[in-house]
A and B are shown apart, each in its own frame.
Chain A
């Protein structure tokens, strides 16, 4: 799939996400807009997954550890055919299977239930280890937020992944520099992330997390070394694609009013044309 097509899909997902947050009156639009390009590239370029057989043992695994951006994942899964697109309008509604964090038991395509931060990477490590034990070639990807890297459990897993030589594991850090209430730098300054991962024995590549060519290239299997886990530090903007949301800490989980919704949608539509 061409970068132009991927960009068009990502734009469509952002518009659907904006509408769903507006209608539900809740969501994490900032972090969703920072990760949507990465999710789009994964599902429409990289991952070998199929809605016809969502539990195929040979499928690639994607763990969205920043589970609060579940809405973005739901829309990507709907675009991919795992769930009906009409179901997105049930997001957060009474009785919907689409709650604020993804549930593998209810939603096909979800691999593990996330929500509390710092859970996805250890689980992804176990998946990658299972593939190795099975002698299978499927790959495991996990997306964390950058603020999420403050959770100690991630660093337990980072040590173990290098020790186990899991070259079939790729960690993508959605590095949007903002956490819920403040800038990363003003809270628990982890940046620069790359040298820290390198010091723990990982291969690291830094990319523009909104540049489709760069994302697709970074995710490609030929960038992986056999026995070294790989980390992609994806430099992103929270709220990317909407001028007044982008890189603005206020938009972690703010809901646009009618006027803001109209303007945001107009900007996204202009970008699509």
Chain B
């Protein structure tokens, strides 16, 4: 059976990112982009052509890149610091901590090709620790949009938000999931599908898969709620607690290690407020084998069918 989104047109969210950034840049000359030789992979070519003086390429130097972002913010600019997420968050983590988070600098950190988007290039190029690393820091919201509509909404939000933030984007194609005109609210989940048997919570590339899984479950008479949880920090405590109370079981799906990411953040809220059975899907604490981005998600138990199967196993643990 074919389900919604399975055959829909897929979009690279980087295009929505750069189109939105260019539109913002045209309206506000304080918007600047900083990158580490990543004009192509960050899709900043259009921004560079329109605003050449506002595309600041520091070369292959991520520590300097983040520090420069903090200095630009001090000088009144609104910098979008763009780089492949593993290098932005891994190499420059101390700059993110000291120069952005602790200094409360108005720097927008944009992690491109996050998760396992670089598939076959291997674990050096995977960014499956970034939720955990950045979520541990005060003052830096962590956000992973699910489609091009939410990506554009998040970029518009970030440009007006006073403070640093980490925006985690992918290059893996996803269909449109949120409604046109969607407005991003920090710390608010989006109810994409209601249900009462269990709740599937996902973000980024995984929201698409979670929606197909919910449709597969519906075919089998199981009503799953789906929450899109782009905002990992701050997280929507009310939506999580309500999901625990009403549906009694929670399954999380993320393109991240299961240690410290979305599943951990949800579990923290569940344990503190209303304990219910949970299953956390993600990368189980290993360096990935060689495979494409989508094949890796399948191999780590996050195909729509495997997510649905995990949901059924979880339901057996749910209290009657």
Binding site for B on A (CB under 8 A): 57, 61, 103-105, 111-116, 118-119, 121-131, 133-134, 140, 152-153, 156-157, 159-160, 163-164
Contacts of A160 in B (CB 8 A): 58-59, 61, 64, 68
A124–B71 touching, CB < 8 Å: yes
Contact B95 A119 (CB under 8 A): yes
Are B66 and A122 in contact, CB atoms less than 8 angstroms apart?
Answer: yes
Binding site for A on B (CB under 8 A): 32, 53-54, 56, 58-59, 61, 63-77, 79, 94-95, 98-99, 102-105
Nearest B residue to A126 by beta-carbon distance?
B71
Residues from chain B with Cβ under 8 Å of A125 in the complex: 64, 67-68, 71
Distance in angstroms between the alpha carbons of A153 and B60 in the assembled complex? 11
Q: Is the CB of B68 within 8 A of A112?
A: no
- Nearest CB of B to A144, in Å: 13
| Interface contact A122-B76, CB-CB below 8 Å | no
Describe A's contact surface by its main secondary structure: helix
Residues of chain A within 8 A (CB-CB) of B76 are 57, 130, 134
List, in ascending order, chain B residues with CB within 8 A of A164's CB.
Answer: 56
List the B side residues contacting A123 at CB < 8 Å: 67-68, 70-71, 74, 99
Most chain B CB inside 10 Å of its own CB: which residue of A125, A126, A130? A126
CB-based contact B59/A156 at 8 Å = yes
Across-interface contacts of B74 in A (CB, < 8 A): 61, 111-112, 123, 126-127, 130
| B75: A residues at CB distance < 8 A | 61, 126-127, 129-131, 133-134
- Interchain CB contact under 8 A, A122 and B68: yes
A163 B68 Cβ-Cβ under 8 A: no
Cα–Cα distance between A113 and B67 once the two chains are bound (Å) = 11
A119/B67 in contact, CB under 8 A: yes
Chain A residues in 8 Å Cβ range of B79: 126
Contact B32 A112 (CB under 8 A): no
Which chain A residues lie closer than 8 Å to B66 at the CB level?
A: 122
The answer to whether A112 and B94 touch across the interface, beta carbons within 8 angstroms, is no
Taking CB atoms, residues of chain B closer than 8 Å to A131 are 75
Question: Which residues of A lie under 8 Å from residue B69 when comparing CB positions?
Answer: 126
Which of B59, B71, B103 makes the CB contact (< 8 A) with A113? B103
CB neighbours of A105 from chain B (8 A): 103-104
> What are 16 sample pairs from A and B whose C-beta atoms fall under 8 A apart?
A104-B104, A112-B71, A112-B105, A119-B98, A122-B68, A123-B71, A130-B72, A133-B32, A133-B53, A140-B71, A153-B61, A156-B59, A156-B64, A157-B67, A157-B68, A160-B59
- Between B65, B74, B95, B99, the greatest number of chain A beta carbons within 10 A of the residue's beta carbon is seen for B74
Partner of A157, one of B56, B64, B99: B64
B64 CB to nearest A CB, Å: 4
A159: which of B61, B71, B73 is its contact (CB, 8 Å)? Answer: B61
Indicate which residue in A115, A134, A152, A153 contacts B67 across the interface (CB closer than 8 Å).
A153
Contacts of B99 in A (CB 8 A): 112-113, 119, 122-123
Whole-angstrom distance from the CB of B133 to the nearest CB of chain A?
Answer: 16
Assembled-state Cα–Cα distance A156/B320 (Å)? 60
- Extra 9 A-B pairs, beta carbons < 8 Å, given A123-B70, A128-B71, A156-B64: A112-B71, A113-B102, A118-B63, A122-B64, A122-B66, A123-B99, A127-B75, A133-B54, A160-B61
Question: How far apart sit A156 and B36, CA to CA, in the bound complex (Å)?
Answer: 11
Q: Which residues of B contact A124 (CB under 8 A)?
A: 71
> A118: shortest Cβ distance to chain B, in Å?
7
A153–B72 CB distance below 8 A? no
A6 shortest CB reach to chain B, Å: 27
Q: A112-B103, A160-B68 are in contact. Are A130 and B63 (CB under 8 A)?
A: no
Q: How far is the CA of A124 from the CA of B56 in the complex (A)?
A: 15
- Given known contacts A119-B99, A156-B58, A160-B61, A133 and B67 CB-to-CB distance under 8 angstroms: no
A134 CA to B72 CA, complexed, in Å? 10
Question: Cβ of A114: which chain B residues have Cβ within 8 Å of it?
Answer: 98
B303: min CB distance to chain A, Å: 42
A54 → chain B closest CB, angstroms: 12
Give the complex CA separation of A8 and B60 in angstroms. 46
Bound: A126/B70 CA distance, A: 7
Identify the closest chain A residue to B69 (Cβ).
A126
Expressed in whole angstroms, the Cα–Cα distance for A103 and B102 within the complex equals 8
A64 and B95 CA atoms in complex are apart in Å by 16
Complex: how many Å from CA A128 to CA B65? 14
Residues A127 and B71 in contact in the complex (CB < 8 Å), given A153-B64, A156-B58, A156-B64: yes
What chain A residues lie within 8 Å of B102 (beta carbons)? 103, 113
CB distance from A169 to the nearest CB of B (A): 10
A156, B71: Cβ atoms under 8 Å? no
Tell me which residues across on chain A come within 8 A of B61, comparing CB atoms: 153, 156-157, 159-160
